[in-house]
Amino acid sequence: MLKKFPREFSALSEIFDFTEEFFACRGLDRTHLQRINFAIEELFTNMVKYNKQGQHPIRIALDAKDGTLEVRISDVDVEPFDPTASPEVDIGQSVEDRPIGKLGLHLIRRMVDGIEYQYENRTSTVILTKKLE
Amino acid sequence: MFNIKEEEKGVVLMSGRLDAAQAERAQAFMDQVKDPHTVDFAELDYISSAGLAVLLRTQKQLMTQGSGLRIVNISPQIMDIFRYSGFDQIFQVSPAEA
């Protein structure tokens, strides 16, 4: 299932409807839905925030086979931006020292089983995989 | 859908989904609550890192005044997010009763 979404935060509710519909169509275990939505939100909002020159809608493709869910989030005609290169966050810091933000990728790594970045033909694609068993 | 209201003095009830599209509204609401001390997550289904940032920013402000937030009725899934991000050490937390 593939759908394009406008590059604005207000598209998030439409994205959550899309993942929910996919889970329902495929009869997938909904306990994974929140983690998948979390990971997609972080990556989608990163693209909206950091691929400033992007003019096109962001594409999200969902597929499930052999007990694994695959999510591909693609942004066409942009400069490379590899979210997987972001450093780990020190979660032991005091409240005063904790930076606001920066947690997204740290959390995604705990929500999914795989995260991969590809850049080809000026298209950034992040591929998430999640075992559904 | 996200809703936020002051249930009683200093107690804020959040419900629905606190995502990046709602974070600004949530922050504006938290900023105008006088002496907030508790956030009730009983009806909160989802929080993203943008929502966590609202809580952390509020906590930083409160700590400069010598107070802090307690977050109550946290669902197991949101509790996982709190643990992964170390927020269970930054806030006083109590999980939802099973």
Residues of chain B in contact with residue A110, where contact means CB-CB under 8 angstroms, are 84
**B15-40: per-residue pLDDT in tens?**
999 999 999 999 999 999 999 999 99
Enclosing domain of residue B66: 2-95
Cα–Cα distance for residue pair B34/A48, rounded to 1 Å: 34
pLDDT at A43: 96
B21 lies within 8 A of chain A by CB = yes
Q: Provide ipTM, 2 decimals.
A: 0.92
Number of folded domains in chain B? 1
In the structure encoding, which two tokens stand for residue B13, read together?
């009830």
CATH, residue A66: 3.30.565.10
CATH, residue B24: 3.30.750.24
Number of folded domains in chain A? 1
Closest CB to B85: pick one of A91, A95, A100. Answer: A91
Enclosing domain of residue A47: 2-131
Cβ burial of A63 (10 Å; 0-12, 13-18, 19+) is middle
pLDDT at A54: 86
Do the beta carbons of residue A129 and residue A113 sit within 8 Å? yes
In this prediction, what percent of chain A has a pLDDT beyond 70? Answer: 100
**A22-48: per-residue pLDDT in tens?**
999 999 999 999 999 999 999 999 999
Cβ of B48 within 8 Å of Cβ of A38? The answer is yes
pLDDT(A103) > 90: no
- Tell if the pTM clears 0.90, that is, is over it: yes
Interchain CB contacts (distance < 8 Å): A and B: 66
**A46-57: per-residue pLDDT in tens?**
999 988 888 999
